Structure 1
Protein backbone atom coordinates (compact mmCIF):
# COMPACT_ATOMS: atom_id res chain seq x y z
CA UNK A 1 0.00 0.00 0.00
CA UNK A 2 1.55 3.33 -1.15
CA UNK A 3 5.03 1.95 -1.97
CA UNK A 4 7.58 4.76 -1.70
CA UNK A 5 10.88 3.29 -2.91
CA UNK A 6 12.30 0.14 -4.50
CA UNK A 7 15.68 -1.41 -5.21
CA UNK A 8 16.94 -4.56 -6.91
CA UNK A 9 18.88 -7.13 -4.91
CA UNK A 10 20.91 -8.77 -7.67
CA UNK A 11 22.25 -11.53 -5.41
CA UNK A 12 18.76 -12.94 -4.78
CA UNK A 13 17.20 -11.64 -8.02
CA UNK A 14 14.47 -9.90 -6.03
CA UNK A 15 12.84 -6.54 -5.49
CA UNK A 16 13.07 -4.93 -2.05
CA UNK A 17 10.20 -2.49 -1.58
CA UNK A 18 9.56 0.26 0.93
CA UNK A 19 5.87 -0.52 1.59
CA UNK A 20 5.20 2.82 3.27
CA UNK A 21 1.44 2.53 3.72
CA UNK A 22 1.81 -0.80 5.51
CA UNK A 23 4.84 0.41 7.51
CA UNK A 24 7.17 -2.37 6.42
CA UNK A 25 9.96 -3.41 4.05
CA UNK A 26 9.17 -6.43 1.87
CA UNK A 27 11.06 -8.58 -0.63
CA UNK A 28 9.53 -10.05 -3.77
CA UNK A 29 11.33 -12.57 -5.94
CA UNK A 30 11.54 -11.64 -9.63
CA UNK A 31 11.23 -15.27 -10.63
CA UNK A 32 8.05 -16.32 -12.41
CA UNK A 33 5.34 -17.86 -10.27
CA UNK A 34 5.91 -15.63 -7.24
CA UNK A 35 2.55 -14.89 -5.60
CA UNK A 36 3.51 -13.16 -2.36
CA UNK A 37 6.35 -11.27 -0.76
CA UNK A 38 8.42 -11.74 2.37
CA UNK A 39 8.43 -9.19 5.20
CA UNK A 40 12.01 -8.17 6.00
CA UNK A 41 11.29 -5.37 8.50
CA UNK A 42 7.90 -4.67 10.07
CA UNK A 43 6.38 -1.68 11.89
CA UNK A 44 8.73 0.92 10.47
CA UNK A 45 7.91 4.36 9.04
CA UNK A 46 9.73 3.81 5.77
CA UNK A 47 9.83 6.51 3.06
CA UNK A 48 13.21 6.00 1.42
CA UNK A 49 16.01 3.48 1.80
CA UNK A 50 19.31 2.34 0.32
CA UNK A 51 21.56 -0.71 0.16
CA UNK A 52 25.36 -0.60 0.40
CA UNK A 53 27.89 -2.83 -1.34
CA UNK A 54 27.85 -5.25 1.63
CA UNK A 55 24.06 -5.62 1.19
CA UNK A 56 23.14 -3.78 4.39
CA UNK A 57 19.83 -1.92 4.22
CA UNK A 58 19.57 1.67 5.47
CA UNK A 59 16.00 2.64 6.34
CA UNK A 60 14.35 5.76 7.73
CA UNK A 61 12.10 4.92 10.68
CA UNK A 62 10.86 5.65 14.22
CA UNK A 63 8.59 8.55 13.41
CA UNK A 64 10.98 9.47 10.59
CA UNK A 65 13.63 10.91 12.89
CA UNK A 66 16.36 8.28 12.52
CA UNK A 67 18.09 5.96 10.08
CA UNK A 68 19.04 2.40 10.95
CA UNK A 69 21.26 -0.09 9.18
CA UNK A 70 19.96 -3.64 8.88
CA UNK A 71 21.69 -6.84 7.93
CA UNK A 72 19.20 -8.81 5.86
CA UNK A 73 17.21 -10.91 8.33
CA UNK A 74 17.84 -8.50 11.23
CA UNK A 75 14.66 -7.00 12.70
CA UNK A 76 16.15 -4.27 14.91
CA UNK A 77 19.09 -2.70 13.12
CA UNK A 78 21.85 -0.34 14.24
CA UNK A 79 21.36 3.41 14.56
CA UNK A 80 23.52 5.32 12.04
CA UNK A 81 21.87 8.78 11.92
CA UNK A 82 19.54 10.79 14.13
CA UNK A 83 17.84 9.05 17.02
CA UNK A 84 17.52 12.21 19.11
CA UNK A 85 13.94 13.09 18.25
CA UNK A 86 12.60 15.31 15.49
CA UNK A 87 14.48 18.60 15.15
CA UNK A 88 17.03 20.70 13.28
CA UNK A 89 20.14 20.19 15.41
CA UNK A 90 23.10 18.43 13.80
CA UNK A 91 22.30 15.24 15.75
CA UNK A 92 18.64 15.26 14.68
CA UNK A 93 16.55 14.60 11.59
CA UNK A 94 13.17 15.88 10.47
CA UNK A 95 11.50 13.61 7.93
CA UNK A 96 14.46 11.98 6.19
CA UNK A 97 13.25 11.48 2.64
CA UNK A 98 15.91 9.77 0.52
CA UNK A 99 19.13 8.04 1.50
CA UNK A 100 22.41 7.51 -0.35
CA UNK A 101 25.26 5.39 1.01
CA UNK A 102 28.79 5.68 -0.41
CA UNK A 103 31.49 3.01 -0.54
CA UNK A 104 32.82 4.03 2.88
CA UNK A 105 29.32 3.51 4.40
CA UNK A 106 28.87 7.24 4.95
CA UNK A 107 25.18 8.12 4.86
CA UNK A 108 23.73 11.06 2.95
CA UNK A 109 20.12 11.97 3.69
CA UNK A 110 17.75 14.60 2.33
CA UNK A 111 15.61 16.11 5.08
CA UNK A 112 12.22 17.17 3.79
CA UNK A 113 11.29 19.54 6.61
CA UNK A 114 14.77 20.84 7.45
CA UNK A 115 15.35 21.72 3.79
CA UNK A 116 18.87 20.35 3.79
CA UNK A 117 21.04 17.38 2.88
CA UNK A 118 23.17 15.92 5.66
CA UNK A 119 26.21 13.65 5.58
CA UNK A 120 26.71 11.29 8.49
CA UNK A 121 30.19 9.80 8.44
CA UNK A 122 30.36 6.17 9.53
CA UNK A 123 30.21 6.04 13.33
CA UNK A 124 29.49 9.78 13.74
CA UNK A 125 27.21 11.12 16.49
CA UNK A 126 26.08 14.10 14.42
CA UNK A 127 25.86 15.02 10.77
CA UNK A 128 27.41 17.65 8.51
CA UNK A 129 25.27 19.95 6.36
CA UNK A 130 26.40 19.45 2.74
CA UNK A 131 23.55 21.30 0.99
CA UNK A 132 20.87 23.78 2.01
CA UNK A 133 20.00 24.41 5.63
CA UNK A 134 19.45 28.15 5.16
CA UNK A 135 15.68 28.32 5.17
CA UNK A 136 13.15 27.43 2.53
CA UNK A 137 13.45 29.65 -0.56
CA UNK A 138 14.99 29.48 -4.03
CA UNK A 139 18.43 31.09 -3.49
CA UNK A 140 21.44 29.00 -4.49
CA UNK A 141 22.16 28.48 -0.78
CA UNK A 142 18.69 27.08 -0.17
CA UNK A 143 16.51 24.07 -0.84
CA UNK A 144 12.75 23.65 -0.68
CA UNK A 145 11.60 20.20 0.43
CA UNK A 146 14.49 18.19 -1.08
CA UNK A 147 13.78 14.65 -2.21
CA UNK A 148 15.93 12.31 -4.31
CA UNK A 149 19.72 12.48 -3.98
CA UNK A 150 22.77 10.99 -5.69
CA UNK A 151 26.43 11.40 -4.71
CA UNK A 152 29.24 10.84 -7.22
CA UNK A 153 32.77 9.62 -6.54
CA UNK A 154 34.03 13.21 -6.08
CA UNK A 155 31.49 13.86 -3.33
CA UNK A 156 29.26 16.09 -5.46
CA UNK A 157 25.66 15.85 -4.28
CA UNK A 158 22.80 15.99 -6.80
CA UNK A 159 19.40 16.87 -5.37
CA UNK A 160 15.81 16.84 -6.56
CA UNK A 161 14.78 20.24 -5.17
CA UNK A 162 11.06 19.51 -5.19
CA UNK A 163 9.29 22.82 -4.56
CA UNK A 164 11.90 24.82 -6.48
CA UNK A 165 11.25 22.57 -9.48
CA UNK A 166 14.93 22.04 -10.21
CA UNK A 167 17.86 19.64 -9.87
CA UNK A 168 20.80 21.10 -7.96
CA UNK A 169 24.41 20.02 -7.58
CA UNK A 170 26.63 20.87 -4.62
CA UNK A 171 30.34 20.15 -4.92
CA UNK A 172 32.20 18.91 -1.85
CA UNK A 173 32.67 21.78 0.62
CA UNK A 174 30.62 24.27 -1.41
CA UNK A 175 28.62 27.02 0.31
CA UNK A 176 26.05 27.18 -2.47
CA UNK A 177 24.73 24.96 -5.21
CA UNK A 178 24.41 25.11 -8.98
CA UNK A 179 21.24 24.57 -10.98
CA UNK A 180 21.76 21.56 -13.24
CA UNK A 181 18.32 21.48 -14.85
CA UNK A 182 15.08 23.36 -14.24
CA UNK A 183 14.53 26.28 -11.92
CA UNK A 184 12.18 27.88 -14.43
CA UNK A 185 9.03 27.56 -12.38
CA UNK A 186 6.59 24.66 -12.45
CA UNK A 187 5.68 23.54 -15.94
CA UNK A 188 5.88 20.87 -18.61
CA UNK A 189 8.53 22.44 -20.86
CA UNK A 190 11.78 20.69 -21.75
CA UNK A 191 13.63 22.84 -19.17
CA UNK A 192 10.94 22.63 -16.50
CA UNK A 193 9.75 20.26 -13.78
CA UNK A 194 6.65 20.02 -11.65
CA UNK A 195 7.95 18.44 -8.43
CA UNK A 196 11.14 16.51 -9.32
CA UNK A 197 11.19 13.84 -6.61
CA UNK A 198 13.65 11.16 -7.67
CA UNK A 199 16.86 11.02 -9.66
CA UNK A 200 19.56 8.64 -10.76
CA UNK A 201 22.48 8.34 -13.18
CA UNK A 202 23.43 5.53 -15.52
CA UNK A 203 27.02 4.45 -16.18
CA UNK A 204 27.21 6.81 -19.18
CA UNK A 205 26.49 9.86 -17.01
CA UNK A 206 22.92 10.39 -18.19
CA UNK A 207 20.65 11.92 -15.57
CA UNK A 208 17.13 10.52 -15.09
CA UNK A 209 14.55 12.56 -13.18
CA UNK A 210 11.13 11.48 -11.90
CA UNK A 211 8.94 14.50 -12.70
CA UNK A 212 6.02 13.75 -10.39
CA UNK A 213 3.17 16.07 -11.37
CA UNK A 214 4.05 15.92 -15.07
CA UNK A 215 3.70 12.12 -14.85
CA UNK A 216 6.96 11.50 -16.70
CA UNK A 217 10.58 10.44 -16.37
CA UNK A 218 13.08 12.64 -18.21
CA UNK A 219 16.62 11.94 -19.38
CA UNK A 220 19.35 14.59 -19.58
CA UNK A 221 22.93 14.33 -20.82
CA UNK A 222 25.32 16.19 -18.52
CA UNK A 223 29.05 15.99 -17.90
CA UNK A 224 29.88 14.39 -14.58
CA UNK A 225 31.95 11.75 -12.84
CA UNK A 226 29.77 8.84 -11.72
Structure 2
Protein backbone atom coordinates (compact mmCIF):
# COMPACT_ATOMS: atom_id res chain seq x y z
CA UNK A 1 0.00 0.00 0.00
CA UNK A 2 1.11 3.59 -0.55
CA UNK A 3 1.87 5.91 2.39
CA UNK A 4 -1.65 7.35 2.34
CA UNK A 5 -3.26 3.92 2.42
CA UNK A 6 -4.32 3.90 -1.24
CA UNK A 7 -3.19 1.20 -3.67
CA UNK A 8 -0.14 2.36 -5.64
CA UNK A 9 -1.33 0.39 -8.65
CA UNK A 10 -4.48 2.54 -8.87
CA UNK A 11 -2.35 5.66 -9.03
CA UNK A 12 0.10 4.14 -11.53
CA UNK A 13 -2.71 3.58 -13.95
CA UNK A 14 -4.19 7.02 -13.29
CA UNK A 15 -0.82 8.73 -13.74
CA UNK A 16 -0.03 7.20 -17.00
CA UNK A 17 16.52 13.56 -4.76
CA UNK A 18 50.22 23.28 13.03
CA UNK A 19 48.30 25.50 15.80
CA UNK A 20 48.79 28.94 14.25
CA UNK A 21 47.61 27.72 10.91
CA UNK A 22 44.69 25.97 12.52
CA UNK A 23 43.77 29.12 14.43
CA UNK A 24 43.92 31.19 11.24
CA UNK A 25 41.81 28.61 9.48
CA UNK A 26 39.21 28.65 12.24
CA UNK A 27 39.06 32.45 12.22
CA UNK A 28 38.69 32.52 8.45
CA UNK A 29 36.05 29.83 8.68
CA UNK A 30 34.06 31.88 11.20
CA UNK A 31 34.22 34.95 8.93
CA UNK A 32 33.06 32.95 5.94
CA UNK A 33 30.31 31.38 8.05
CA UNK A 34 29.07 34.81 9.20
CA UNK A 35 28.97 36.15 5.65
CA UNK A 36 27.41 33.00 4.31
CA UNK A 37 24.86 32.95 7.12
CA UNK A 38 23.76 36.49 6.24
CA UNK A 39 23.46 35.56 2.58
CA UNK A 40 21.58 32.40 3.44
CA UNK A 41 19.09 34.42 5.49
CA UNK A 42 18.59 36.88 2.65
CA UNK A 43 18.22 34.08 0.12
CA UNK A 44 15.75 32.32 2.42
CA UNK A 45 13.68 35.50 2.74
CA UNK A 46 13.72 36.03 -1.00
CA UNK A 47 12.71 32.45 -1.73
CA UNK A 48 9.97 32.57 0.90
CA UNK A 49 8.65 35.87 -0.48
CA UNK A 50 8.42 34.43 -3.97
CA UNK A 51 7.54 30.77 -3.58
CA UNK A 52 5.43 30.59 -0.40
CA UNK A 53 2.61 32.77 -1.81
CA UNK A 54 2.84 31.00 -5.17
CA UNK A 55 2.59 27.53 -3.61
CA UNK A 56 -0.13 28.69 -1.22
CA UNK A 57 -2.23 30.26 -3.97
CA UNK A 58 -1.84 27.22 -6.19
CA UNK A 59 -2.66 24.85 -3.35
CA UNK A 60 -5.96 26.63 -2.66
CA UNK A 61 -7.44 25.90 -6.07
CA UNK A 62 -5.58 23.08 -7.87
CA UNK A 63 -7.68 20.24 -6.43
CA UNK A 64 -6.75 17.55 -3.89
CA UNK A 65 -7.86 14.09 -2.85
CA UNK A 66 -8.40 14.95 0.82
CA UNK A 67 -11.08 14.45 3.42
CA UNK A 68 -12.75 17.18 5.44
CA UNK A 69 -9.88 17.58 7.91
CA UNK A 70 -7.25 17.52 5.18
CA UNK A 71 -9.19 20.13 3.26
CA UNK A 72 -9.52 22.41 6.28
CA UNK A 73 -6.02 22.06 7.72
CA UNK A 74 -3.92 21.48 4.59
CA UNK A 75 -5.76 22.94 1.64
CA UNK A 76 -7.20 26.02 3.34
CA UNK A 77 -5.23 26.79 6.51
CA UNK A 78 -1.94 25.41 5.20
CA UNK A 79 -2.17 27.38 1.97
CA UNK A 80 -3.15 30.57 3.79
CA UNK A 81 -0.23 30.08 6.20
CA UNK A 82 2.15 29.86 3.24
CA UNK A 83 0.74 33.08 1.81
CA UNK A 84 1.10 34.88 5.16
CA UNK A 85 4.66 33.56 5.51
CA UNK A 86 5.49 34.92 2.09
CA UNK A 87 3.95 38.30 3.01
CA UNK A 88 6.07 38.51 6.19
CA UNK A 89 9.22 37.57 4.28
CA UNK A 90 8.55 40.12 1.55
CA UNK A 91 7.81 42.85 4.11
CA UNK A 92 11.02 42.17 6.04
CA UNK A 93 13.06 42.08 2.87
CA UNK A 94 11.61 45.34 1.56
CA UNK A 95 11.96 47.00 4.97
CA UNK A 96 15.66 46.13 5.05
CA UNK A 97 16.14 47.46 1.54
CA UNK A 98 14.31 50.72 2.30
CA UNK A 99 16.34 51.30 5.46
CA UNK A 100 19.62 50.71 3.62
CA UNK A 101 18.73 52.68 0.51
CA UNK A 102 16.83 55.47 2.28
CA UNK A 103 19.63 56.04 4.82
CA UNK A 104 17.15 57.53 7.29
CA UNK A 105 15.54 59.84 4.72
CA UNK A 106 12.35 57.79 4.43
CA UNK A 107 9.86 58.67 7.18
CA UNK A 108 7.69 55.59 6.91
CA UNK A 109 9.85 52.67 5.72
CA UNK A 110 7.79 50.09 7.58
CA UNK A 111 4.48 51.25 6.08
CA UNK A 112 6.03 51.30 2.61
CA UNK A 113 7.42 47.82 3.21
CA UNK A 114 3.97 46.61 4.29
CA UNK A 115 2.41 48.01 1.15
CA UNK A 116 5.15 46.58 -1.04
CA UNK A 117 4.93 43.21 0.71
CA UNK A 118 1.18 43.14 0.13
CA UNK A 119 1.60 43.88 -3.57
CA UNK A 120 4.38 41.31 -4.04
CA UNK A 121 2.45 38.66 -2.13
CA UNK A 122 -0.78 39.32 -4.01
CA UNK A 123 1.09 39.09 -7.31
CA UNK A 124 2.76 35.75 -6.59
CA UNK A 125 -0.32 34.26 -4.93
CA UNK A 126 -2.35 35.33 -7.97
CA UNK A 127 0.10 33.67 -10.33
CA UNK A 128 -0.07 30.53 -8.21
CA UNK A 129 -3.87 30.53 -8.37
CA UNK A 130 -3.81 30.89 -12.15
CA UNK A 131 -1.40 27.95 -12.42
CA UNK A 132 -3.57 25.96 -9.99
CA UNK A 133 -6.72 26.63 -12.00
CA UNK A 134 -4.96 25.52 -15.17
CA UNK A 135 -3.82 22.29 -13.47
CA UNK A 136 -7.15 21.66 -11.71
CA UNK A 137 -9.13 19.84 -14.46
CA UNK A 138 -6.33 17.36 -15.16
CA UNK A 139 -5.69 16.76 -11.44
CA UNK A 140 -9.38 16.23 -10.65
CA UNK A 141 -9.67 13.83 -13.56
CA UNK A 142 -6.63 11.86 -12.34
CA UNK A 143 -8.06 11.78 -8.80
CA UNK A 144 -11.39 10.47 -10.10
CA UNK A 145 -9.64 7.80 -12.18
CA UNK A 146 -7.56 6.80 -9.15
CA UNK A 147 -10.68 6.36 -7.02
CA UNK A 148 -12.34 4.34 -9.78
CA UNK A 149 -9.29 2.08 -9.95
CA UNK A 150 -9.29 1.63 -6.17
CA UNK A 151 -12.86 0.33 -6.41
CA UNK A 152 -11.92 -1.93 -9.34
CA UNK A 153 -9.05 -3.52 -7.40
CA UNK A 154 -11.22 -4.01 -4.33
CA UNK A 155 -14.14 -5.47 -6.28
CA UNK A 156 -11.81 -7.83 -8.14
CA UNK A 157 -10.10 -9.06 -4.97
CA UNK A 158 -6.66 -7.60 -5.61
CA UNK A 159 -4.34 -7.28 -2.61
CA UNK A 160 -1.19 -5.15 -2.63
CA UNK A 161 1.79 -6.47 -0.61
CA UNK A 162 4.46 -3.71 -0.75
CA UNK A 163 6.91 -6.50 -1.61
CA UNK A 164 9.30 -6.77 -4.55
CA UNK A 165 9.09 -10.42 -5.57
CA UNK A 166 5.35 -10.58 -4.95
CA UNK A 167 3.59 -7.26 -5.39
CA UNK A 168 -0.03 -8.45 -5.55
CA UNK A 169 -2.42 -11.34 -5.12
CA UNK A 170 -5.47 -11.70 -7.33
CA UNK A 171 -8.87 -12.96 -6.18
CA UNK A 172 -7.83 -16.60 -6.68
CA UNK A 173 -4.79 -16.17 -4.43
CA UNK A 174 -2.34 -16.23 -7.32
CA UNK A 175 0.87 -14.37 -6.50
CA UNK A 176 1.73 -11.66 -9.02
CA UNK A 177 4.69 -9.41 -9.70
CA UNK A 178 3.94 -6.07 -11.36
CA UNK A 179 6.23 -5.67 -14.39
CA UNK A 180 5.29 -2.60 -16.39
CA UNK A 181 2.57 -0.16 -17.37
CA UNK A 182 1.53 0.51 -20.94
CA UNK A 183 -0.99 3.02 -22.25
CA UNK A 184 -3.60 0.32 -22.64
CA UNK A 185 -2.76 -2.20 -19.90
CA UNK A 186 -0.75 -3.19 -16.82
CA UNK A 187 1.43 -6.29 -17.10
CA UNK A 188 2.07 -8.82 -14.30
CA UNK A 189 4.15 -11.96 -14.07
CA UNK A 190 2.50 -14.96 -12.45
CA UNK A 191 4.95 -15.93 -9.67
CA UNK A 192 5.73 -19.66 -9.68
CA UNK A 193 4.25 -20.21 -13.13
CA UNK A 194 6.99 -19.94 -15.72
CA UNK A 195 6.19 -17.74 -18.71
CA UNK A 196 2.68 -16.92 -17.53
CA UNK A 197 1.39 -13.34 -17.53
CA UNK A 198 -1.69 -11.50 -16.35
CA UNK A 199 -3.05 -8.16 -17.54
CA UNK A 200 -5.33 -5.37 -16.40
CA UNK A 201 -6.76 -3.57 -19.40
CA UNK A 202 -7.12 0.23 -19.27
CA UNK A 203 -9.32 2.62 -21.19
CA UNK A 204 -7.96 5.79 -22.80
CA UNK A 205 -8.24 7.69 -19.48
CA UNK A 206 -6.39 5.05 -17.44
CA UNK A 207 -9.45 3.44 -15.88
CA UNK A 208 -9.13 -0.26 -15.17
CA UNK A 209 -11.77 -2.09 -17.19
CA UNK A 210 -10.94 -5.80 -17.00
CA UNK A 211 -8.59 -8.39 -15.55
CA UNK A 212 -7.44 -11.16 -17.86
CA UNK A 213 -6.46 -13.72 -15.25
CA UNK A 214 -3.39 -15.93 -15.89
CA UNK A 215 -2.65 -16.41 -19.55
TM-score, normalising length: structure 1: 0.22
How high is the TM-score relative to the length of structure 2?
A: 0.23
Report which of the two has the higher share of helix.
2
Greater radius of gyration (CA): 2
Instruction: Considering Cα pairs closer than 8 Å and 6+ residues apart, tell me whether 1 or 2 has the greater RCO.
Output: 2
Between Structure 1 and Structure 2, the one with more strand by share is: 1
